[in-house]
Structure 1
Amino acid sequence: MDRRIFGVETEFGISHRPVEGRGLPPDELARYLFRPVVEFGRSSNIFIPNGSRLYLDVGSHPEYASAECADLIDLIANENAGDRIMHDLAVAAEKAIHLDGFSGQIYVLKNNVDSAGNSYGSHENYLIPRTTHFRRLSGILLPFLVTRQIISGAGRVVPATDETEAHFAFSQRADHMWEGISSATTRARPIINTRDEPHSDAATHRRLHVIVGDSNMSTTTALLRYGSTDLVLRMIEAGVPIGDYELENPISAIRHISHDITGHAAVRVRGAEDHTAVQIQRGLLQRAQRFVAEHGAHHEHVETVLELWERALESVETGDHTLIDHDIDWAIKKRLVEEVADARGLEMGHRRLEQVDMAYHDVNPDRGLFHMLRRRGRATDVLDAGAVTEAMITPPATRAALRGQVVSTARAYGAQSTVDWVHHKLTDRPLDAVMLKDPFAVVDSRIDALLDKLGDRSSQLRERTLDERRGSGASLALTDRYALLGEPERDEPPLI
């Protein structure tokens, strides 16, 4: 497969911190947060003009599913657009609760575990050929995903328990996985979910649904996370020999690896001697390097992915985390936590350090600690300036562009539309529904014909509306009422 479709679904944590007393419960807070969503689409489950989906998931978790993307940078930009949209919603919700007599601030966190120990996910989706042998895929992919946390984990301050001291771990998600492979998502919470909904031609493709990943704040980490997984999948699809790292107990292994920041934790490999996570990852990296040398780079970011992969493994293996403390989430966060601990004389189990951990994932660009680090040059970025703002209003060059066209044009006419990943229709013309199975399609005459039914000026209006919205700087992800936050001059407090 020369081209691949990527997507990521991000669940966010939300909380209300009042000036005094107890905060609003999550379900009530979620209703405030999604009030503009319901106003926009008459539902709490909608598709928006940039081609992505917004909805409330189980447990009142706001969720943003990126538009389908055929380019890794487009994916990361569209994913981060979701962070900004959630922040815009929080700003509006905070104003609304104040009008209703509630005080305090609303926090939206792009992390994977709350203070009560509940977990929520960041689910990756990869379109793969139907011909891919699933047994071979799982046998190779599971060891890769179990050990991938050492190169793309978000990091976590783990509080002390009766059995263990407080410590820093690679992953937020590792402790909350219960099976290697399963069709369930919440009950069993597997590393790989077998639910097969390709949202394309099911005869030729299937959707690989990976739910083990940590939510990344760093765009560099996201590039390595998605890019390395794509390379492993391409090797599997090509049928090249990769090596046998099948784990005896993936769930025991993923937890064992997460809690040993030295990277020396050994796990049982079926029919072979024990391996460390670094050894497994290095074996896969070396095979990927040979694969690229033999077959060529399939996109312009491959060399960057391989370099980051190599450097991350060297950092873990040598214990020199300065090699990646600008590039990989867990190392960026670990450095910050250690600086705060040293400056204030705190032990790892101190509540203040747990708060630093949480604040790292705050999507508020003025308050979130990761955003402060990036502004201060302590976190690298693979996105160009303005890429996220553009991704809030512009779908990627895939089928998402057609979906966004339907939503935007119908709204401009005051018409009602109904879309999902595949189906597109105007509510008052249900018999004219258009089904698009090709996720790579960026033009389709049937969509043009459908929108032309809105009026003679529909094509001109579609172009003019997009141009006007881009020029105004307004956030059209949901509603024209909320302006995008800019990047004003800040008198920032010290991080520590």
Structure 2
Amino acid sequence: MTRYMGTETEYGISTPSDPGLSPIVTSTHAVVAYAAMNTGARSRWDYEEESPLKDSRGFDLRRYHTVPVVEPDAVGIANVVTANGARFYVDHAHPEYSSPECSNAYDAMVYDAAGDLVLLKAAADVQSLYEEGVSILKHHDPCPPLKIYKNNVDGKGASYGAHENYQYSRKTDFDVLTQALIPFFVTRNIIIGAGRLGIGEAGEQEGFQISQRADYFHQEISLETTLNRGIVNTRDEPHANAVHFRRLHTIVGDANMSQTSTFLKLGMTKLVIDAIEAGVDFSDLRLTDPVAEIKNVSHDLTLTHELSLADGRRLTAGDILRVYLDRVDPIDQVDERVMTLWGEVLDLLADDPMTTTHLLDWTAKWALIKGYVDRGVPLSDPKLKLIDLQYHDIDPTKSLYHALVRKGRMLTMASEEEIENAVLTPPADSRAWFRGAVSAKFGEDVIAASWQTMILKAGEGTARLATNDVDGMTRETVGAIIDDASTTEELLTGLQGIGVEPAHYVTHHNKNHINKPHQH
């Protein structure tokens, strides 16, 4: 099957001119300003299909007994569906960009990078309003200019997430999947780590390490995403047909600036899941203490640390990743590209990790910091902490990552035009096409939306459309219908012509529900 995937990035946010200002408020300003100045879509999020406390191991802690109704510009919960089918909202005092569903790792990398442009535009919109003395939020002063970072730590002990999502079959044994993935997740940081100055959750020890997130994991398996995090997250919230699918909600990766790191993060993981579902056995790679080893791997810049395996062997992270590479098989050209690059990076890392500074985040950042250390600057120097942070600045005029790109010292895979286009255009081969295209064209008529639903104003009532099939409602199937429709009523009529009926229709006059089966 097509392995649909996507990313969720919680961005770091600050207001340099007013450091004490609540990030909940500033994040809300960013989302609402972007919604107001870039799209007519001010829709609520439809929480009816949400179940973040349902566990793949068979229990459900249930967050909602009734479905909440939250206004789209509510402080701390502001929400907008963007023109590319992504979700841009406030989550845990951070602005979060959740990318649209993509069918391959390359597209997923491009749409992840598009999130940086969405956030950059939001920051510009906030600054424009501030200069005009206008507040987008009632009962709040104008928001001062924002700084936004694509990183995972605040330097004070807190970590915020960069999650990945992969659709997989519900027939796949979760225990088998988990045990096969744990050694991979522990070791893949040598390729996807974003680099971090400081050892320990609060950076209490001096030092530089490979991963920003590694020190924050305390269990092998857990439902938690903010405390007691597990290397494998057990959330069973498929955002699709729950009879057939699950969604692997992966919280163990870093937020990457490097396009190579993002591409490999998504592509390698996709290939490993493919292999697991094809029956490939990875049980011989089981580790004796994965929680300790994820930190050991991250703290060893030489990549010579040998992990202890349950069968008594000792292998380096590179050795283990090489086994995974040898056991996966490509099914398309993107997979082949992933495998070729995966092997090339492993070869470079084995020869000398610093030969990857043009490809990987952690080595690129370490090269910048090491240049000062070699001249006698201590790792505790605030200047180095600024370098650590400034690498992740999404503003190209301030970002050290973008400076490396301009100087030809960091390679990219996607053109600027591709990424800019991905801000405005949804993926053509997933249901994100429908969500994004409808939000862009009929934004004022979108009452609420989610990954699986869209509720539209329609004449004297509202229509709720189900979009459970991730491979449905694509440009091929609904593109012409959306293009030809001038009203939501015409849109619904066109959809009915291909067998898509609203799940229910409610008139404002009598509020009666007319239940109709969803088909397409």
TM-score, with normalisation over the residues of structure 2?
0.79
Contact kept? 2:114, 2:422, Cα under 8 Å: yes
2:453 pairs with 419, 423, 435, which one?
Answer: 423
Contact kept? 1:311, 1:323, Cα under 8 Å: no
Alignment of 1:238-387 (within 5 A): 238-288=278-328, 292=329, 297-318=330-351, 320-342=352-374, 345-387=376-418
Alignment of 1:74-473 (within 5 A): 74-100=107-133, 105-158=145-198, 166-288=206-328, 292=329, 297-318=330-351, 320-342=352-374, 345-397=376-428, 398-411=430-443, 414-428=444-458, 432-441=463-472, 442=474, 443-444=476-477, 448=481, 452=485, 454=487
User: Counterpart of 1:437 in 2: which secondary structure?
Assistant: coil
Task: Name the stretch that deviates more: 428-437 or 236-245.
Answer: 428-437
Q: How many pairs were matched up? A: 444
**C-alpha separation in 2, matches of 1:126 and 1:417:** 28
User: Counterpart of 1:195 in 2: which secondary structure?
Assistant: coil
User: Counterpart of 2:333 in 1: which secondary structure?
Assistant: coil
Shift of 1:31: 3.2
Alignment deviations for residues 95-136 of structure 1 (CA, whole Å, 9 cap, x no partner)? 444555989752100001012121001110000111111111
Shift of 1:388: 0.9
Contact kept? 1:160, 1:167, Cα under 8 Å: no
| Inter-CA distance 119–444: structure 2 relative to 1 (3 Å threshold) | same
Alignment deviations for residues 302-321 of structure 1 (CA, whole Å, 9 cap, x no partner)? 33322332233333333x13
Contact kept? 1:362, 1:369, Cα under 8 Å: yes
Shift of 1:433: 1.9
**C-alpha separation in 2, matches of 1:229 and 1:316:** 19
**C-alpha separation in 2, matches of 1:37 and 1:109:** 17
| Inter-CA distance 174–28: structure 2 relative to 1 (3 Å threshold) | same
2:26 pairs with 29, 40, 57, which one?
Answer: 29
Partner of 2:59: none
| Inter-CA distance 356–105: structure 2 relative to 1 (3 Å threshold) | farther
User: Counterpart of 2:454 in 1: which secondary structure?
Assistant: strand
Shift of 1:207: 0.5
Task: Name the stretch that deviates more: 330-339 or 168-177.
Answer: 330-339
Matched, 1:48 2:82: yes
Q: CA RMSD in A?
A: 2.8
Partner of 2:99: 66
**C-alpha separation in 2, matches of 1:37 and 1:311:** 40
Contact kept? 1:312, 1:323, Cα under 8 Å: no
User: Counterpart of 2:302 in 1: which secondary structure?
Assistant: coil
Contact kept? 1:416, 1:428, Cα under 8 Å: no
Amino acid at match of 1:236: I
Shift of 1:65: 0.3
Amino acid at match of 1:276: T
| Inter-CA distance 313–95: structure 2 relative to 1 (3 Å threshold) | same
Partner of 2:510: none
Contact kept? 1:410, 1:451, Cα under 8 Å: no
Amino acid at match of 1:373: L
Partner of 1:490: none
Alignment deviations for residues 41-71 of structure 1 (CA, whole Å, 9 cap, x no partner)? 143122111100011111x111000000002
Partner of 1:17: 16
**C-alpha separation in 1, matches of 2:228 and 2:199:** 24
Task: Name the stretch that deviates more: 228-237 or 303-312.
Answer: 303-312
Task: Name the stretch that deviates more: 216-225 or 34-43.
Answer: 34-43
**C-alpha separation in 2, matches of 1:209 and 1:282:** 24
Amino acid at match of 1:305: V
Alignment deviations for residues 440-476 of structure 1 (CA, whole Å, 9 cap, x no partner)? 12155699499948278879xxxxxxxxxxxxxxxxx
User: Counterpart of 1:354 in 2: which secondary structure?
Assistant: helix
**C-alpha separation in 2, matches of 1:174 and 1:11:** 17
Task: Name the stretch that deviates more: 138-147 or 263-272.
Answer: 263-272
Alignment deviations for residues 415-447 of structure 1 (CA, whole Å, 9 cap, x no partner)? 344221111221356663221221112155699
**C-alpha separation in 2, matches of 1:386 and 1:7:** 20
Shift of 1:175: 0.5
**C-alpha separation in 2, matches of 1:458 and 1:201:** 24
**C-alpha separation in 1, matches of 2:386 and 2:169:** 43
Partner of 1:477: none
| Inter-CA distance 208–102: structure 2 relative to 1 (3 Å threshold) | closer
User: Counterpart of 2:284 in 1: which secondary structure?
Assistant: coil
Which ranges of structure 2 fall in alignment gaps of 5 or more residues? Answer: 43-71, 134-140, 493-520
Matched, 1:5 2:35: no
| Inter-CA distance 173–93: structure 2 relative to 1 (3 Å threshold) | same
| Inter-CA distance 217–446: structure 2 relative to 1 (3 Å threshold) | closer
**C-alpha separation in 2, matches of 1:310 and 1:348:** 32
**C-alpha separation in 2, matches of 1:454 and 1:53:** 23
Amino acid at match of 1:90: A
| Inter-CA distance 299–385: structure 2 relative to 1 (3 Å threshold) | farther
Contact kept? 2:201, 2:215, Cα under 8 Å: no
Shift of 1:230: 1.0
